[in-house]
Amino acid sequence: MLKDATIKETYTLPSLGKLYGIEGFNPKVTLRSMTTMEEMKRLSYTEDEFKLMSEIIDDCILEEMPISSYDMVLGDYEFLLHKLRVVTYGKDYKMQDTCPNCKKQTVVSVNLDEVEVHEFDEDEILKSRTITLPISKKKITLAFQTPRTIDLIKEKANTLRKKTKDQHTNYEFMYRVISYIAEVDGLEKSDDDLEQMVRKMQMKDIYYILDKGAELGRKVGLDNEVVAKCGNCNYEFVTRFQYQPSFFRPYIDE
């Protein structure tokens, strides 16, 4: 009989469960390592990549959770994705990058357990969540994106593309802006109202929403900058984290 080699680790969600409006939300999550069944599912074709990965994460969570990782803020989802990789293949991750010291393309080492985590800070979130647009002066309450949000952006854009028979316009851009808007001047708006509003907005306001929305998202979750070590000259430097094909592969030191 094969010995059960399942690895289990318990982690605390960066949001501390404070962003879901669910009383008694326990932010502690125990993950088990992936099996062949999850890997076969991960390698299958899908147009909804976030949904598929969320299903795999949910299957590997040992507790009963009040919501799926598909509906968690991106900071929690990406945190769980990293930790699932750690419990399955280990903390050592190798990715391609260019060393600023020797200027060569190289494989750099990243310790996934040492990536900085930004936990929920109520004062920081409150300060960053409401913005005033520079041109229209509208007050926008920003929304945190979720994996479902990202999939819906693509789905809505494809639906509109088919409806208009316009294969060249980047409708994803419009829906990405809309995804960051929770309220306008303290009021919730319908999807149709938001679409009409965004279509007529000045670009300075549009990019302000995109920049501030992305900034809000970074308040919770993993830092996107990591310390890496060059495989050629051993120089340590700070670089942006990249999801490369090797992310869900073990590193074997030959």
- Which is higher by pLDDT, 110 or 79? 79
**pLDDT of 182-217, one tens digit each?**
999 999 999 999 999 999 999 999 999 999 999 999
**What is the amino acid identity at position 252?**
I
Using pLDDT thresholds of 50, 70 and 90, give the confidence band for residue 139: very high
Residue 13 is assigned to a structural domain of this protein: yes
pTM: 0.89
Closest CA to 76 of 21, 118, 41, 116: 118
- 192 lies in which domain range? 122-217
* 147-164 vs 171-179: helix crossing angle, rounded to 10: 140
> What's residue 244's pLDDT?
81
Report the C-alpha gap between 37 and 39 in whole angstroms. 5
Residue 157 is assigned to a structural domain of this protein: yes
Residue 253 is assigned to a structural domain of this protein: no
Residue 70 contacts residue 56 (beta carbons within 8 Å): no
Domain tally for the chain? Answer: 2
> What's residue 254's pLDDT?
42
Beta bridge partners of 108: 95, 230
Q: Where are the alpha helices (DSSP H) in 100-202?
A: 122-129, 147-164, 171-179, 191-200
**pLDDT of 2-54, one tens digit each?**
445 578 999 999 999 999 999 989 999 999 999 999 999 999 988 888 999 99
Q: Does one domain contain both 104 and 227?
A: yes
Residue 146 contacts residue 71 (beta carbons within 8 Å): yes
Q: Does one domain contain both 185 and 105?
A: no
> What's residue 251's pLDDT?
60
Q: Does one domain contain both 110 and 133?
A: no
Q: Does one domain contain both 107 and 179?
A: no
Q: What percent of the chain has pLDDT above 70? A: 96
> What's residue 3's pLDDT?
45
Angstrom CA distances, 185 to 129, 141, 182, stand at 13, 8, 10
- Which is higher by pLDDT, 1 or 235? 235
Q: Does one domain contain both 55 and 177?
A: no
> What's residue 202's pLDDT?
97
Q: Does one domain contain both 41 and 74?
A: yes
Report the C-alpha gap between 218 and 184 in whole angstroms. 22
**With left for phi above 0 and alpha for psi between -120 and 50, is residue 52 left, alpha or beta?**
alpha
Per the prediction, the chain carries an average pLDDT of 91
The answer, yes or no, to whether residue 56 has pLDDT greater than 90, is: yes
Q: Does one domain contain both 181 and 157?
A: yes
Q: Does one domain contain both 78 and 67?
A: yes
Residue 79 contacts residue 11 (beta carbons within 8 Å): yes
Q: Does one domain contain both 130 and 77?
A: no
Q: Does one domain contain both 29 and 101?
A: yes
Residue 96 is assigned to a structural domain of this protein: yes
- Which is higher by pLDDT, 65 or 94? 65
